[in-house]
Every structure is written in structure tokens, then in C-alpha cells.
């Protein structure tokens, strides 16, 4: 069952129950009040008759005549009925022998008069009898006159009370039909109107489930449904961002696999090709040496690739204990290795370091510096210079590695830290590179709460800027 239909159905059921229950209570209360009023009036009239009879008892006793008693009592009854002047008022007077002294009823009296059983003097009993199509209220009392018992029964036709009761139910039935019909019509539109935002939210959810992640729910109200729609939109935005991140990561992983496969394919092809030639062909010693040199070179390239891949994998998601170390001391330790590497191209490395103590992992920082300098050496020509500067900059500590090499085109700057990305693949392969060094540097910097920036101009050199932020420093 749809939600709007549930609201419609439940509200109609509740309305019908409450309206009918209220109508029943009102009708029954009104009927009860009218009936009690008639009963009290009848009892009051009976008491008036009793008082009138008691007033003439002394006179009746003087004459001591049964005939006279009955005549007087009959006259009292006639006078009282005539005085009331109500067509629906009746009286009967009977003595203890069952003789009727007075009776003006126009209907057949009930055979079994339960209200007369054990009736006592100065006591009035009443009962309701359905006689034909009428409802008669009987009130009876006992009067002793001259040692004889007379039963006075005052009766009133209260059919109108029950007719009014039935008419009220009929009236409320008509009102009930009209009110329920109007309420159903109103609630139909109200329930549909209230659930329109939920319908829109559901439709938006279906679009998102179908892949339209940029779809958003309309939110116009400020009630609970409006808050739900806003929260849904926030959730959808987060989901969309996560999906975009996953798609980006998936593309990066696929690119990583494709590049890795390509990088493996080239040296493996050379190794297999030269090994097959050496195994099957008759070659002279110079060709043998050349083939072995190629196999050795490509093998070292594979070794370098595997080691850098291991470094990259190890850095992803790992935690390393950081210790407070002197940064200049670390630079001093790695300088001999860097100078030896630079001497292969007759290059000079200049270092300027401002003392500072940082929270570092020593081996990883050495790897970061070595990779940046190695990258600069590969990008530079013979007899050029590389400058390493480390200095304070406000609350940060900055490491700059500047070379005078070929530089990097602006369109490549945003991608140089991607694994296997190389701006000049031919030159990188000649230098035994695989495009993993800068990616490793980025991971190491991230572990040290550091950010990497780069400035570069083609044919004028490149400067890498590593900024250590306060969270990772104790300057």
C-alpha cells in the first residue's frame, strides 16, 4: 500500500471512529437526560396525587363508606388527569381485591405487573413497558385508606422520547455520511499533497540508483520532510564524491597496471630476444659481449623497477615512527652519496642548510632527498649545478632542490607525481627510469605532514619545494 493511501485510509478510519463515538455519546447522553426528566416528572406527579389523597383521607374516614371512598378517589383521578391536560397521561386506581376504581387507559394493560410486586406504602416504583408501537412509563404507589390498600398507577406515554432518540440517530447518520464524504475528499488531496515530496525523493533515489549521481531532490519546505530531503541531498553529494573518487582511483589503478605492464614488457622483450639469439645463433665474441651487456642492463632496470615498486607499496597505508632529528645532519650524511652520483656528469651540488629539528623517519627522508636529486641529475646536462636549500619560513620549514636542467612543460606539472608518468619517456628509459621516483617522494612527504610544490621553466631548470608544516616539525 502506498504511503499516501495509508495516510488517507488511517485518517478516514480514525475520523469515522471518533466522529461516530462522539455522536453516539452525545445522542445517548441527550436521550438519557430526556428520559430521566420524564421519569422525574412522572414521579413528581405521582407524589402530587399521593399528597392529594392523603389530604382527603380524614374526610373519607368520617363517612366510612367504601362506595364513597371509591367515588372520591375516582373524582380525584379525573380532576388530576383533566388538570394535566395531556393526551398521553393515564391513571388507574385498584383496591386490594383487584377491583378497578378508575381507569382511563386506551390500551390493554400488561398482565404481569412486576412493579407492583412487594410495593410498600409511601414508596413509588416505576417501569417502562412497550405496548404496541408505544412506550409507556408506569409509576405505582400504595395508599392505605380505612384499612384497605389502593394502588395508584400514574402512566405517561413517552413514545416521543424514543422517537426523538431514533430521529437523532437518523440525523447523525446523514451528517456522518456528509461529513465522512467531505473529509475523504479533503484527505485525498491533503494526503497526496503531503506525500509529493516523498514521491520526488523516491524518484530521485531511483535516478541515483540508475547512475544519475548528480540528481538532487527538490527541497522547498522546512518541515521534517524538507530536512530529510536536505540530508538526502547531502548524502547524495557525499556518495557522488566517493564514486568519483572510486572512479578516479580505478582509472589510476588501471593506468598503473597498464604502465607497469608496459614497463615490464620492454626489458623482458630485450632479455628474451637477446637470450634466444645467444642460445641459437652462431655469433662472434664481440656480439656475445654486446648481447650480454644488453641482458645485464635490462636486468638491472627490472631490479630497479621492482625495488621502487616495493618502496611504493610499502609506503601506502603504512605508519612509521617519527623521531625528533636534526635536518642538517641528515643532509650532511647523504651528501657524499649525492656528490658521487653527480660526479658521473661532472656536476656540482651546493648545499645551504638552516638548523632545525623535525619529527622525521631518517631513512625515508634520505630516500626523498635522493630521489629528488637523482631526478634533477637525470634532467641536467654535464657541468651544471644543483642547489639544495633548507630554511625556516614562518612556522614552516622548507626544503628546496633546484637544478639547471631541461625543465618541465606546464601541461605536465599536474601529473609528474603519478606512478610511471614520464614527461620524456625515451630519455627516462635511457636513464634507467620508470617514473616512480616522484610518486615515492609524494608518499614520503605525506607521511611527514609535508606538501610538495614545483616551479619549472623549459630549458631553464626545475625547483622542487617541500614544505614541512608545524604538525610534523618542532623547530
Q: What is the pLDDT of residues 292-306, one digit of tens each?
A: 887 887 777 677 656
End-to-end CA distance of the chain: 68
Backbone angles phi, psi at 307, to 5 degrees: -65, -45
CA 60/CA 47 separation, integer angstroms: 20
Question: What pTM value is reported for the model?
Answer: 0.50
φ, ψ at 180 (rounded to 5°)? -65, -40
Tens of pLDDT, residue by residue over 104-140, are 888 888 877 776 777 777 788 888 888 888 899 998 8
Lowest mean pLDDT among 16-25, 273-282, 323-332: 273-282
pLDDT above 70 covers a percentage of the chain that reads: 86
Q: What is the pLDDT of residue 27?
A: 92
Average pLDDT over residues 71-77: 83
Secondary structure class of 334 (helix, strand, coil): helix
Q: Tell me whether strands 89-95 and 348-353 are parallel, antiparallel or unpaired.
A: unpaired
The pLDDT score that the predictor gives to residue 474 is 44
What span, in angstroms and rounded, lies between the C-alpha atoms of 129 and 127? 7
Greater confidence (412 vs 454) lies with 454
Quote the cell numbers at residue 443.
608518499
Predicted confidence (pLDDT) at residue 5 exceeds the cutoff of 50: yes
User: Between 3-63 and 159-209, two packed helices, what is the crossing angle to 10 degrees?
Assistant: 170
Categorize the per-residue pLDDT at 473 as very low, low, confident or very high, splitting at 50, 70 and 90: very low
Whether residue 474 contacts residue 417, with contact meaning beta carbons closer than 8 Å, is answered with: no
pLDDT per residue over 397-423, tens digit each? 999 999 998 888 887 777 777 766 655
Residue 462: beta bridge partners? 456
Rounded CA gap, 474 and 344, in Å?
37
Q: Set out the domains of the chain in order of their start, with CATH numbers.
A: 3-165 (3.30.450), 213-316 (1.10.287.130), 320-472 (3.30.565.10)
What is the distance between the alpha carbons of residues 331 and 444, in angstroms, rounded to a whole number? 16
Coil/strand/helix, residue 94: strand
Cβ-proximal residues to 412 (8 Å cutoff; 6+ apart), any chain = 421, 423
Do strands 357-360 and 396-403 pair parallel, antiparallel, or not at all (unpaired)? unpaired
Amino acid 463: pLDDT: 93
Q: Give the chain's mean pLDDT.
A: 81
Amino acid at each position: 500500500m502506498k504511503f499516501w493511501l495509508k495516510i488517507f485510509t488511517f485518517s478516514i478510519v480514525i475520523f469515522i471512529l471518533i466522529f461516530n463515538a462522539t455522536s453516539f455519546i452525545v445522542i445517548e447522553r441527550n436521550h438519557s437526560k430526556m428520559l430521566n426528566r420524564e421519569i422525574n416528572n412522572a414521579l413528581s406527579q405521582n407524589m402530587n396525587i399521593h399528597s392529594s389523597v392523603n389530604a382527603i383521607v380524614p374526610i373519607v374516614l368520617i363517612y366510612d363508606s367504601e362506595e364513597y371512598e371509591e367515588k372520591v378517589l375516582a373524582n380525584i383521578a379525573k380532576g388530576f388527569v383533566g388538570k394535566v391536560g395531556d393526551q398521553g397521561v393515564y391513571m388507574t386506581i385498584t383496591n386490594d381485591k383487584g377491583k378497578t376504581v378508575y381507569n382511563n387507559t386506551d390500551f390493554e394493560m400488561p398482565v404481569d405487573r412486576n412493579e407492583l410486586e412487594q410495593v410498600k406504602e409511601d414508596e413509588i416504583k416505576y417501569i417502562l413497558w412497550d405496548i404496541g408501537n408505544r412506550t409507556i412509563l408506569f409509576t405505582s404507589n400504595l395508599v392505605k385508606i380505612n384499612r384497605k390498600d389502593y394502588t395508584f398507577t400514574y402512566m405517561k406515554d413517552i413514545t416521543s422520547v424514543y422517537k426523538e432518540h431514533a430521529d437523532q440517530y437518523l440525523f447523525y447518520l446523514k451528517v456522518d455520511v456528509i461529513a465522512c464524504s467531505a473529509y475523504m475528499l479533503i484527505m485525498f488531496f491533503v494526503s497526496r499533497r503531503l506525500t509529493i515530496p516523498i514521491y520526488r525523493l523516491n524518484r530521485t533515489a531511483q535516478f541515483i540508483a540508475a547512475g544519475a549521481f548528480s540528481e538532487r531532490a527538490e527541497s522547498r519546505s522546512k518541515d521534517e520532510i524538507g530536512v530529510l530531503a536536505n540530508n538526502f541531498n547531502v548524502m547524495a553529494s557525499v556518495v557522488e564524491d566517493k564514486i568519483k573518487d572510486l572512479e578516479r582511483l580505478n582509472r589510476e589503478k588501471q593506468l598503473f597496471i597498464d604502465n607497469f605492464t608496459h614497463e615490464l614488457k620492454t626489458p623482458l622483450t630485450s632479455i628474451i630476444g637477446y637470450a634466444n639469439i645467444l642460445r641459437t645463433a652462431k655469433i662472434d665474441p664481440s656480439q656475445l659481449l654486446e648481447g650480454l651487456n644488453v641482458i645485464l642492463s635490462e636486468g638491472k632496470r627490472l631490479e630497479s623497477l621492482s625495488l621502487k615498486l616495493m618502496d611504493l607499496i610499502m609506503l601506502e597505508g603504512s605508519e612509521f615512527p617519527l623521531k625528533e632529528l636534526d635536518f642538517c645532519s641528515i643532509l650532511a650524511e647523504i651528501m657524499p652519496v649525492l656528490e658521487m652520483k653527480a660526479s658521473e656528469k661532472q656536476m656540482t651540488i651546493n648545499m645551504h642548510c638552516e638548523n632545525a629539528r623535525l619529527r622525521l623517519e631518517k631513512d625515508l627522508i634520505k630516500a626523498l632527498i635522493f630521489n629528488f636529486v637523482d631526478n634533477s641529475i637525470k634532467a641536467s646536462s654535464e657541468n651544471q649545478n644543483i642547489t639544495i636549500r633548507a630554511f625556516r619560513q614562518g612556522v614552516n620549514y622548507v626544503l628546496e632542490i633546484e637544478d639547471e636542467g631541461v625543465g618541465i612543460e606546464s601541461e605536465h606539472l599536474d601529473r609528474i607525481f603519478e606512478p610511471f608518468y614520464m614527461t620524456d619517456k625515451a630519455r627516462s628509459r635511457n636513464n634507467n627510469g620508470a617514473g616512480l621516483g616522484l610518486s615515492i617522494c609524494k608518499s614520503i612527504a605525506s607521511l611527514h605532514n609535508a606538501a610538495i610544490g614545483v616551479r619549472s621553466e623549459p630549458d631553464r631548470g626545475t625547483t622542487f619545494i617541500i614544505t614541512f608544516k608545524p604538525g610534523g616539525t618542532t623547530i
